[in-house]
Amino acid sequence: MKRPVKFIITVLFLFFAGNSVFAENIYKFKLKSISGKTIPLSLLKGKVILIVNVASYCGFTYQYNSLQKLYNKYRKKGLVILGFPSNDFGNEEPGSNTDIRKFSHIQYRVEFPLMSKVRVKGKHIHPLYRYLIHHSRFKSDIRWNFEKFLIDRKGNVVARIPSPIEPDSTKVVSLVESLLKQDESNYSSLSGNYRSSNKD
């Protein structure tokens, strides 16, 4: 007996929608910077990466300060912070990419790279975020703005950090430092692969 066409379409949709979950590693993804430039994550091989979904009008927006502080301290040692603006929570990031970039720079002097506005939950979730959730220890949806994922030098998701925990807290700093020390000599030659700011 032939399977209903609707069933087949559903199966195909689920396969392609979830395909990013089974990407070989995080370096297979390509991102759009806040100015629209394509950024292959492969450029960040050998870096420790902190990925954060940000918003301009959130109770946690002040964390831009501690994120920038963390970036200033460890960027030369191999830390990259990537901010992903999202309007998924409480309409707290309603502006355009231009608005977001201007706000973050003027109000918080943000210099770490910001990406184009994305969805971090729901049907239209960005493929990278689908991957991050699937490969983290806790596989629940993103709960709010300023949730953080920490990626080691080999591209592994090693920590998922809730919104209330400050980026420059003792626990986060200790984890970042330990990851930066891992195989440091093997990756020192890659330190110039990606140098950018939220102006890109």
Is this structure's pTM higher than 0.85?
Answer: no
- Which residues lie closer than 8 Å to 80 by C-beta, 6 or more apart? 44, 47, 48, 49, 50, 112, 113, 194
**Euclidean distance between CA atoms 4 and 191, whole angstroms:** 54
The predicted structure's pLDDT at residue 138: 81
Domain ranges in the chain are 5-190
Per-residue pLDDT tens digits of the chain, which is 200 residues long: 455 545 444 444 444 444 445 556 899 999 999 999 999 999 999 999 999 999 999 999 999 999 999 999 999 999 999 999 999 999 999 999 999 999 999 999 999 999 999 999 999 999 999 999 999 888 889 999 999 999 999 999 999 999 999 999 999 999 999 999 986 655 443 434 444 456 66
The predicted structure's pLDDT at residue 8: 43
Please check whether residue 83 is in contact with residue 67, taking contact to mean a CB–CB distance below 8 angstroms.
Answer: yes
Residue 96 a catalytic site member: no
**Euclidean distance between CA atoms 28 and 134, whole angstroms:** 15
CATH number for domain 5-190, candidates 3.30.1370.110, 3.40.50.150, 3.40.30.10, 3.40.50.970: 3.40.30.10
The predicted structure's pLDDT at residue 188: 44
Please check whether residue 51 is in contact with residue 151, taking contact to mean a CB–CB distance below 8 angstroms.
Answer: yes
48, 49, 58, 128: the catalytic one is 58
